[in-house]
Structure 1
Amino acid sequence: MTEIAHGLESLAEAANELPEHYIETTTALVQSALRTLKHGDAFAVLDEYGDLGVSGPSAEGVYFNDTRYLSFLKLLIEGMRPLLLSSVVQDDNVALSVDLANPDVGAHGVISLPRDTIFIERTKFLWRGVLYERIGFRNFDGHRRQFSITICYDADFRDLFEIRGSQREQRGRVTLTHGKTGPEFHYDGLDGVKRATRLIFWPEPTSADHKSATFLIDIGPYERSSMFVSVACSDRSAPQLTHFSLAFRDRRRAIRAKTAAIATIDSSNDLFNEVCRRATSDLYMLVSRTPHGLYPYAGIPWYSTPFGRDGIITAMMLLWADPAVARGVLSFLSATQADRFDPAADAQPGKILHETRNGEMARLGEVPFRRYYGAVDATPLFVMLAGMYFERTGDSETIAKIWPNILAALRWIDEFGDRDGDGFVEYLRETENGLANQGWKDSHDSIFHADGSLAEGPIALCEVQGYVYAAKSAAGRLARLMGDDDAGAKFDAAAQALKAAFDKAFWCEDLGCYALALDGRKKPCRVRASNSGHALFAGIALPERAKTVAKTLLGRSFFSGWGIRTVASGEMRYNPISYHNGSIWPHDNAMIALGFFRYGLGREAIQIFSAMFEAAAHQDLRRLPELFCGFGRKPHRGPTAYPVACAPQAWAAASIFALLQASLGMELSSQAQSIRFVNPLMPKFLDTVTLTRLTIGESHVRLKLQRHGDDVTLNLLERKGDATVMLVK
């Protein structure tokens, strides 16, 4: 059989497989403008009306600990759905505000309540496991009006993996009781956990049954009135309910506290300011407080939980603006680092967490993700982040605290990551239930040869070798900080040896980039993929390769006009609608842009920055999604949405911070107490950028960069402390 025939056969076989990250849905998330809220381990996905489940089976719902606690909610006035006027998540992502009006109400041709007489305002937010809602009414008529409001509801307690498409042979039992304040749904899980959803109404409904509650509203001319609905989710402990206004105050104070110390961005472009504000709001909505510090949950709805890789990369991109997130990520991942062998979890001692789940299916082992370690890149990225964090902050106390974890991670890299001792880190899942591919492109078909045949493991990914190089380089510096000069020298030597070996094994001169991977036979996967850009990000690429890689990635087969595709068009498995084989991911592009900056390719970084900004400008709420399709740019329209992309997604939101850093050539060094802008450039959509509350050590600065054609000038507006601020050309 020829290689081409073998590749086509593999393609046919793969078409009949169910990919590990396949999300089975009859409706796309982009079919309607969904609204998302999150706090802690609870999140809500609602439609524009503030309802959920009205259009049929979907991802909408109120979720807590990976379980859907409310699957249906619908507001009716006189038995009819109100007219939608507007729907927006507030700028800080604290609350959803929906404006509605009554439709014509009448019978037998007689209108008893004319349309637009009653204005309805819904305000919803999440706080400590409770979805709070105030429904306000205003009568714009000169006559007293009476009407009914009906709230319909249901709870299915489906596990998030069921909603994504997993089939279950049996489930627990759902029962309904009626409490003093409203209905209570109870679920006796097969994992022994008793979950409950309580609906609390004020005032009490006029009538109620197992599906709905009805309220009679009597409101005078031009008067206002309100009612309140709370949805409380509980499993191991019941949430503490409070009044709507007190909860709303506390929720807003909490988000302000998380963002009080971050650097802020203001520019001459109002649209870019909107993108930055939305990115900031999305990030700090997704950032949760854990016992170990702040941690950015990956994204809503499918990944609202700690992911090792996602958290690390998000922290890296946000590091210049808020190093507290990196400190929380390092502490959390140290506390959850594997300390034993567990084949079902793809765990070996020293390995860093891939993801953790709290739902019924994870607790029962129906999916392996209760605490899962099937990521080959999270461990070197963890060490890499530790080095970047120390460079940024000089926080030797945190480094000393996690130093045993860093050493354990480095041992994993050498002992378990490098299975055959050839100097490269590979992966191979331990059981059939684990992820087949364990880099960031973890679709079942994302690692393949030029003929389309799937690579067989153990697989050594291009970007992972870069992360290992950066990790060992960082370990050399940190070892000296810890007083071990000999270990520092060994780590430095290992990094340089890997750099030379990587170039020899992975470079493909005819492709103008690095091979996607080496398969189990050490045969290169000669596929043009965006992974090469991560080699620049990590610094493993030889300087003479950088321009060639950049030229390849910005060529027509890669660059769609909206960004760099994950796989170049023309490759055997290229598909612009796929998850990893031709789509465009903002975080991927941002990391590549940082790689361009590292190698002095500022204009190339600007090209990516401009494309990402223009893509964000076309998105609902100016929000960059997890990914979008890789179709070429067409006049008078935005990028094509990916049907089940998460939005918001932490590393997509953080991409804006990384792209600005790459553009401005921003370098912050705690040891030198300096903030440097090296060969800064600014895209044409920006004339000025002002950074406020930018910190280094004990110093705080406010500064302004201004574009003059292709030149950029720096003006220090305010400085507290003695940090050095300079522009270097």
Structure 2
Amino acid sequence: MKLPQVNILEGITFVVSDMRGDITPDPDEPAGLFYRDMRHLSRWQVRLNGNQLDALSGEAVEYDEAVFFLVEPTGTIYRNPTVSLLRRRNVGDGMRESLELTNHSVEPLPLELSILFGADFADIFEVKDRLQKTGRSYRRVGPDQVTLGYERGDFRRETMIRATDAFYTDESVTFRIMLQPRETWRTEVEVAVATANLRPTVRRAHEPNMPYGLQEWLDAAPRLESGWDDLRRIYHGSLVDLAALRFYPDTIPESSLPAAGLPWFMALFGRDSLITSYQALPFVPEMCRTTLRALAAQQATEIDDFRDAEPGKILHELRHGERAYFREAPQSPYYGAADTTPLFLIVLDEYERWTGDRETVQALEGPARAAVTWMEKYGDLTGDGFISYLSRNPESGLRVQCWKDSQNSIVYPDGTPAPLPQATCEIQGYAYDARRRTARLARECWGDLGLADRLERDADALRKRFHEIFWLPDEGFYALARDGEGRPVPTLASNIGHLLWSGIVPDENVDAVVGHLMGENLFSGWGVRTVADGQPAYNPMEYHNGTVWPHDSALIAMGLTRYGRHTEAARLAEAMLEAAAYFQYRLPEALVGFDRKATGVPIGYASACSPQAWASGTPLLLLRSMMGLEPRRDGLGVDAHVPLRFGHLALSGIPGWWGRADAFSLATVATS
């Protein structure tokens, strides 16, 4: 029987262990110490006199710290243990472990405490796909440390293990101790990492990634008060998880942005970082500025088929592991996403509206103009005015390049995959919104009235043509996509909710769209399903074809709010927040799409990332939706519609161009 996992992280460094604190080689589990997309420890096991210890408790006490309490095994319930071990682990750019061994008996005890270690230096994709290494591993044993290394050409990674008064072999560090009765022995073991291919970098285990800590991060965010205690816990947990996911990109080392999610996506992702930054803008705006600047610094400037790059395109993913370094995978960076570029423009405008930071918007005018050009020249593959996608790299590139990027996510109602190239409906909404927003920036920040007028005309034309092509009058909803043969894909899916968020839906169609979104086929009782029940393509346990994604539902809630459908938005927000309370106040990446009436409790998707950035940001966006927070020319706008169960909602110290502002509302909306 496997013990529960205990995960701690700080930015792009994380540790996954069992409840004992042990890291055990297992091809089915991503256990280990990971740094910059590679595993620097694949084995880390404590033994007392050669025996495995029993865990009485083991859990994360902070996002970057875990505590494990172990005892010697006795083999019977009739004899109590006499030796205990307290392991306290911290992660930074490496790992530090404090050990406290206590003799609870009345006799002196000679003890031998060992840590067995190993490092396979697996790239995160080698872990996920069980691929074999091709480089050379080595080990060096010195008088005060062991170095585990891996090299392949000029690529090298190392793990250094240090402790005092220890005996070393190439696979263990051992302490020989004579413990007197009631005596406690203490020591520390430090694990540092080195990355030779990234300029001289040797990280100490306890070296902080962050220039300011968790409490400062929390203090800078607005203060929440609510009549529902769980909401305060959820809000606090979201801020803590976003703090944990922060990392500092190489191009902008002085400020942070969010990694996408533990364990597989601890890296910069264009779509994830942009949406998370949008969610967090009224709370922690720093991440948004950094995300925009980091993505602009990596914007494609030329065509590269291997990486799906085209001039002006915003990246999908940036990795630093071995496979990316040797171009065995295209993630250095990879540009296989058709929605990141319009999302970049949307978030750039939203950032200026909230912060008034025109200096950043003016500095990013060039990248923004290049993004517009990409939408017009490269995004429109078929010349029909819609953004569609077809990978330039069919061997290792992504087939589907919208947010639902599974191979089988864009399908007909019977489950048949739609032929490429695909133009999904929500990306057209993003393109419409991006043009409207960039027109505002051109007029108010860049002084280019000609560009502003042209983009507004293009947006209006796109809106008209989109309705003509994508609206399905007999079904009363928009097609999921237009396929490579110009046919609509008439699958009812959550994508239509993003159209409300973008504002592309004409008023006469809103009732029909909302009716589907909040109807029993799409709304599970916890959130909006990615694909509606009642169609053969629906599977409540399929990654993108029936699950409920919190960020998806949060964007839909914002769309409902945009169109004045406040009761429905409040109902959706309440349901999602109620679900969070079942997961220790942390929403996972996705939920199984089973009906709430059937299960009574929300069910997490089996391999969901947790914490995951845009799931962590979801409660923040739902708070914005319920409070109706909008930046206006005269300050912060508030138009609250709060579910009755919350009693009241208050946010104090909301940051923006106005400085700090407060918002308060009594609960007024009956959601059932």
Query: TM-score under structure 2 normalisation?
Result: 0.94
Q: 1:269 to 1:500 in 2, by over 3 A?
A: same
User: d(CA) in 2 for partners of 1:251 and 1:697?
Assistant: 25
Match of 1:63 in 2: 34
Q: Find out whether 1:676 has 2:641 as its counterpart.
A: no
Query: CA offsets per residue over residues 411-463 of structure 1, 9 Å max, x none?
Result: 00001111232211111111212110000011111112233321112211100
User: d(CA) in 2 for partners of 1:609 and 1:349?
Assistant: 39
CA contact 2:256–2:286 (8 Å) conserved in 1: yes
Correspondence 1:190-209 to 2 at 5 A: 191-205=153-167, 208-209=168-169
CA contact 1:54–1:73 (8 Å) conserved in 2: no
Q: 1:143 to 1:566 in 2, by over 3 A?
A: same
Query: CA offsets per residue over residues 513-557 of structure 1, 9 Å max, x none?
Result: 211000122200000010000001111111222222122122222
Query: CA offsets per residue over residues 176-218 of structure 1, 9 Å max, x none?
Result: 22122232211112x521211111123323xx43333332333
CA contact 1:681–1:710 (8 Å) conserved in 2: no
Match of 1:317 in 2: 279
What is the SS of the residue equivalent to 2:303? coil
Q: Find out whether 1:557 has 2:521 as its counterpart.
A: yes
Instruction: Give the AA of the match of 2:228.
Output: N
Match of 1:37 in 2: 8
1:459 aligned to which of 419, 422, 435: 422
Correspondence 1:48-87 to 2 at 5 A: 48-53=19-24, 57-87=28-58
Match of 2:82 in 1: 117
Match of 2:580 in 1: 616
Instruction: Give the AA of the match of 1:161.
Output: F
Correspondence 1:630-641 to 2 at 5 A: 630-633=593-596, 638-641=601-604
CA contact 2:579–2:602 (8 Å) conserved in 1: yes
Q: Find out whether 1:521 has 2:482 as its counterpart.
A: no
State the 1:56 CA deviation.
6.1
Q: 1:144 to 1:512 in 2, by over 3 A?
A: farther
Correspondence 1:155-234 to 2 at 5 A: 155-165=119-129, 167-168=131-132, 171-189=134-152, 191-205=153-167, 208-234=168-194
Q: 1:218 to 1:277 in 2, by over 3 A?
A: farther
CA contact 1:565–1:584 (8 Å) conserved in 2: yes
State the 1:36 CA deviation.
2.2
Percentage of matched positions with identical amino acids: 33
Match of 1:390 in 2: 352
Instruction: Give the AA of the match of 2:357.
Output: D
Aligned length: 663
Correspondence 1:85-104 to 2 at 5 A: 85-91=56-62, 93-104=63-74
1:546 aligned to which of 510, 514, 523: 510
Structure 1: runs of 5 or more not aligned: 1-26, 712-729
State the 1:87 CA deviation.
2.3
What is the SS of the residue equivalent to 2:148? strand
Instruction: Give the AA of the match of 1:384.
Output: I
User: d(CA) in 2 for partners of 1:167 and 1:152?
Assistant: 24
Instruction: Give the AA of the match of 1:644.
Output: S
State the 1:224 CA deviation.
3.1
Match of 2:653 in 1: 693
Structure 2: runs of 5 or more not aligned: none
User: d(CA) in 1 for partners of 2:598 and 2:458?
Assistant: 50
User: d(CA) in 2 for partners of 1:326 and 1:656?
Assistant: 17
State the 1:682 CA deviation.
1.8
Match of 1:424 in 2: 386
Query: CA offsets per residue over residues 464-494 of structure 1, 9 Å max, x none?
Result: 0010111000011001121111211111111
Query: CA offsets per residue over residues 577-634 of structure 1, 9 Å max, x none?
Result: 2111111111111111111111111111122222212221111x42211112212225
CA contact 2:642–2:668 (8 Å) conserved in 1: no
State the 1:140 CA deviation.
4.0
Q: 1:581 to 1:145 in 2, by over 3 A?
A: same
Correspondence 1:472-511 to 2 at 5 A: 472-481=435-444, 482-511=446-475
User: d(CA) in 1 for partners of 2:408 and 2:599?
Assistant: 33
Question: Structure 1 residues 143-152 or 432-441, which shifts more?
Answer: 143-152
Instruction: Give the AA of the match of 2:160.
Output: R
User: d(CA) in 2 for partners of 1:605 and 1:628?
Assistant: 19
What is the SS of the residue equivalent to 2:59? strand
Q: 1:251 to 1:297 in 2, by over 3 A?
A: closer
User: d(CA) in 2 for partners of 1:196 and 1:417?
Assistant: 42
CA contact 2:11–2:266 (8 Å) conserved in 1: no
CA contact 1:101–1:115 (8 Å) conserved in 2: no
State the 1:703 CA deviation.
4.5
Question: Structure 1 residues 575-584 or 75-84, which shifts more?
Answer: 75-84
User: d(CA) in 1 for partners of 2:355 and 2:623?
Assistant: 20
Match of 2:534 in 1: 570
Match of 2:667 in 1: 707
User: d(CA) in 2 for partners of 1:153 and 1:637?
Assistant: 44
Q: 1:297 to 1:538 in 2, by over 3 A?
A: same
Match of 2:240 in 1: 281
Match of 1:666 in 2: 629
User: d(CA) in 1 for partners of 2:567 and 2:7?
Assistant: 36
Question: Structure 1 residues 409-418 or 627-636, which shifts more?
Answer: 627-636
CA contact 2:432–2:504 (8 Å) conserved in 1: yes
Q: 1:270 to 1:220 in 2, by over 3 A?
A: farther
CA contact 1:508–1:515 (8 Å) conserved in 2: yes
Correspondence 1:233-382 to 2 at 5 A: 233-236=193-196, 237-241=200-204, 247=207, 253-290=212-249, 291-292=251-252, 293-382=255-344
CA contact 1:102–1:115 (8 Å) conserved in 2: no
Q: Find out whether 1:442 has 2:405 as its counterpart.
A: yes
User: d(CA) in 2 for partners of 1:40 and 1:703?
Assistant: 31
Instruction: Give the AA of the match of 1:296.
Output: P
Instruction: Give the AA of the match of 1:135.
Output: L
Query: CA offsets per residue over residues 235-256 of structure 1, 9 Å max, x none?
Result: 12342437x6xx58x8795334
1:584 aligned to which of 513, 534, 548: 548
User: d(CA) in 2 for partners of 1:403 and 1:504?
Assistant: 33
Q: 1:305 to 1:537 in 2, by over 3 A?
A: same
User: d(CA) in 1 for partners of 2:477 and 2:573?
Assistant: 21
User: d(CA) in 2 for partners of 1:414 and 1:103?
Assistant: 67
Match of 1:722 in 2: none
State the 1:35 CA deviation.
2.3
1:650 aligned to which of 613, 618, 621: 613
Q: 1:637 to 1:152 in 2, by over 3 A?
A: farther
Q: 1:253 to 1:416 in 2, by over 3 A?
A: closer
CA contact 1:266–1:689 (8 Å) conserved in 2: yes
What is the SS of the residue equivalent to 1:320? coil
State the 1:63 CA deviation.
1.0
Instruction: Give the AA of the match of 1:285.
Output: A
User: d(CA) in 2 for partners of 1:703 and 1:437?
Assistant: 41
CA contact 2:72–2:82 (8 Å) conserved in 1: yes
Q: 1:381 to 1:110 in 2, by over 3 A?
A: closer
Alpha-carbon RMSD: 2.4
CA contact 2:193–2:203 (8 Å) conserved in 1: no
What is the SS of the residue equivalent to 2:346? helix
Q: 1:121 to 1:543 in 2, by over 3 A?
A: farther
State the 1:110 CA deviation.
13
Match of 2:373 in 1: 411
